[in-house]
Amino acid sequence: MPSHRLDPIDRKILSELQADGRMTNVELARRVGISAPPCLRRVRTLEEQGFIRGYHAEVDPRELGFEVQVFAMVGLQSQAEADLRAFEDRCRSWPLVRECHMLNGEVDFILKCVAPDLSTFQTFLTGELLTSPNVGSVKTSLVIRGAKDEPGVPFDILEERLTEAG
């Protein structure tokens, strides 16, 4: 059990599972260069320690009938902590809102939304988001096309930095 600092094998495991989360443990063990039992133990430990939060199938939104993706920049009227929390809670309750991040600068939040079509999004926008208490300004931008959509973090960067540092 790596007490808190990960060794190269752990990082390789995370990197491989980020790229293919359904790889068999046998294959994973082969790739990271150890046998299956310790490999599985490492994966379990990484899960327990929170390095791995979960596993997800990546589905194709278009194929499933979600044609529309929108980024919404939201400014609130009050930035008091309680009001921020209230808005975040509301975002969590909206299925169309997949991501909600609090930002610095003029815009308070950025929301990534997914909807079957434009009218569904418009209904949500005018009926829910804009009429929500404390919401000041909302600027929306439709995604014309996606150019890159990589999950998680760049492990290659991590390796670079660690080899430099020793």
**57 interface partner picked from a copy of itself, DNA, none, CB below 5 to 8 A per type:** a copy of itself
User: In whole angstroms, what is the distance from residue 54 CA to residue 91 CA?
Assistant: 21
- Sketch the per residue contact string, 9 through 48, with a copy of itself: x for CB under 8 A, - otherwise: -----x--xxxxxx--------------------------
Stretch that binds a copy of itself, among 33-41, 52-60, 128-136 (CB under 8 A): 52-60
* DSSP label of 80: -
Contacts of 10 by beta carbon, 8 Å cutoff, 6+ apart: 2, 42, 46, 51
Q: Indicate the residue among 35 and 137 with the shorter CB distance to DNA.
A: 35
User: In whole angstroms, what is the distance from residue 100 CA to residue 112 CA?
Assistant: 7
User: In whole angstroms, what is the distance from residue 73 CA to residue 97 CA?
Assistant: 12
Q: Does 81 bind a copy of itself (CB under 8 A)?
A: no
Q: Indicate the residue among 34 and 138 with the shorter CB distance to DNA.
A: 34
Q: At what angle do helices 36-48 and 25-32 cross, to 10 degrees?
A: 100
Map the footprint of DNA across residues 9-38, applying CB under 7 A: 9, 24-27, 34-38
Q: Does 40 bind DNA (CB under 7 A)?
A: yes
CB 97 to a copy of itself: min, Å? 6
